[in-house]
């Protein structure tokens, strides 16, 4: 198994003397993405101009990439489209899900959900309540209360599988099962799952899923996101954003909108071809890699990281679950001066990140991280803590802000 990941590590263009433990925020660049982008600019766009839409496969690229992602999240071919941003896709999915349960008025989520997802729901509710006879509400509960809170009043339960801050895994299978019993539609945010865990949307029975292309899929900053719709629902939903790319016959230029009868109905406008091309190339790194192997390797490296941290320092308090089966592919710690600590680590060549109020996060991504990286990172973390190097870093950060 290690040989597989020795090969995948070579696929990435990583800076020398940097241990990159932030792939859960932004994946590094693949050599294949650079090659593909140069080809798109030098041989496709520059030479074929508008002809690239047909001759270079640009028009089909959202579906081409969507099908590659589908294979990595346990979805049927033709049920995923790579389009827009995660937030826009959530907006589309939430509207569609509410339309399927039009007599209900509750959107259910939890306090640990990514704030943007909650903002999108709040915005939709504000719009809908301008004309609703009975107001819509967003009910936010503790994560441990989610399952018990799903009842016949809940139209949609909207969750993120992996807690962005702590890496805690939600019991998605149990949540989906309870939702099915209550006739509640489900939306799962896979931003911290896709490319990090074994996910099988078909087996789980998820109604809608969304996710990004720039974290574990390594598509680049702002890479196109993706949206999944359960195939049996495609002919039952109406797109809230009715753009020309979602039209049944976009090149007829019909003055009346008719939605496509496929996942294409979730498309809106012209996609970013360069963004899709970079993501398309980056996804090829998964050839020959199973998510089962990846997950096993992620746990192995995460356990090593936690063990070494505990042996070198007692100052970092584990914020992630102790049980590896309850974590995503990241390890988080609590530390009072977390932001300054992260800045000091970056100065030492270890890139992690910080989340309010005191969470220090480290992404464990086996495609390009190995044991040597883990051991070296822990040594540098111990050095920064021992020598209190974050004091100087904190001063610099405050000076820059003010």
Q: Residues with catalytic annotation?
A: 114, 189, 214-215, 361
Q: For residue 118, give the nearest of 172, 152, 164 by alpha carbon.
A: 164
Q: Are 321 and 166 in contact (CB under 8 A)?
A: yes
Residues 6+ apart with CB under 8 A from 267: 62, 81, 83, 243, 245, 246, 260
Residues 6+ apart with CB under 8 A from 74: 198, 199, 200, 201, 202, 203, 204
- The values of phi and psi at residue 128, to 5°, are -65, -35
Q: Are 297 and 367 in contact (CB under 8 A)?
A: no
Tell me the three state secondary structure of residue 314: coil
Q: Which residues pair with 140 in a beta bridge?
A: 109
HSE (CB half, 13 Å, CA atoms) of 137?
A: 7
- Rounded distance between C-alpha atoms, residue 195 and residue 218, angstroms: 9
Report how far Cα 392 is from the mean position of its chain's Cα atoms.
Answer: 34
- The values of phi and psi at residue 226, to 5°, are -140, 160
Q: Are 350 and 21 in contact (CB under 8 A)?
A: yes
- Rounded distance between C-alpha atoms, residue 146 and residue 81, angstroms: 29
Tell me the three state secondary structure of residue 243: coil
- Rounded distance between C-alpha atoms, residue 196 and residue 367, angstroms: 10
Report how far Cα 266 is from the mean position of its chain's Cα atoms.
Answer: 18
């Amino acid at each position: 198994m290690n040989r597989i990941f020795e090969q995948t590590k070579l696929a990435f263009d990583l800076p020398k003397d940097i241990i990159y433990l932030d792939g859960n925020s932004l994946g590094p660049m693949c050599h294949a993405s650079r090659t593909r982008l140069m080809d798109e600019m030098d041989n496709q766009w520059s030479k074929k101009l508008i002809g690239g839409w047909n001759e270079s496969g640009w028009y089909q690229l959202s579906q081409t990439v969507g099908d590659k992602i589908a294979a990595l999240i346990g979805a049927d071919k033709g049920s995923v489209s790579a389009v827009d941003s995660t937030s826009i896709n959530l907006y589309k999915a939430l509207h569609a899900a509410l339309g399927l349960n039009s007599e209900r008025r509750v959107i259910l989520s939890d306090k640990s959900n990514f704030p943007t997802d909650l903002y999108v729901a709040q915005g939709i509710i504000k719009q809908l309540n301008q004309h609703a006879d009975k107001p819509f509400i967003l009910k936010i509960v503790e994560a441990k209360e989610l399952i018990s809170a799903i009842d016949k009043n809940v139209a949609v339960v909207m969750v993120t599988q992996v807690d962005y801050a702590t890496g805690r895994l939600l019991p998605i299978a149990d949540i989906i099962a309870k939702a099915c019993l209550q006739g509640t539609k489900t939306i799962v945010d896979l931003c911290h799952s896709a490319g990090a865990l074994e996910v099988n949307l078909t087996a789980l029975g998820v109604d809608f899923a969304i996710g990004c292309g720039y974290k574990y899929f390594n598509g680049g900053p702002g890479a196109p996101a993706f949206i999944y719709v359960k195939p049996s629902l495609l002919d039952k939903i109406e797109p809230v954003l009715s753009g020309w790319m979602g039209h049944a016959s976009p090149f007829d230029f019909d003055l009346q909108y008719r939605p496509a009868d496929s996942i294409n109905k979730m498309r809106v406008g012209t996609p970013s071809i360069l963004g899709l091309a970079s993501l398309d190339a980056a996804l090829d790194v998964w050839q020959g890699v199973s998510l089962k192997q990846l997950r096993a390797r992620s746990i192995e490296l995460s356990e090593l990281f936690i063990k070494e941290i505990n042996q070198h320092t007692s100052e970092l308090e584990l914020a992630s679950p102790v049980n590896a089966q309850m974590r995503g592919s990241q390890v988080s710690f609590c530390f009072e001066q977390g932001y300054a600590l992260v800045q000091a680590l970056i100065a030492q060549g270890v890139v992690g990140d910080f989340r309010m109020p005191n969470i220090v996060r480290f992404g464990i991504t086996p495609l390009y991280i190995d044991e040597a990286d883990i051991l070296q990172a822990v040594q540098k973390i111990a050095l920064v803590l021992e020598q209190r190097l974050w004091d100087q870093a904190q001063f610099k950060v405050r000076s820059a802000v003010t």
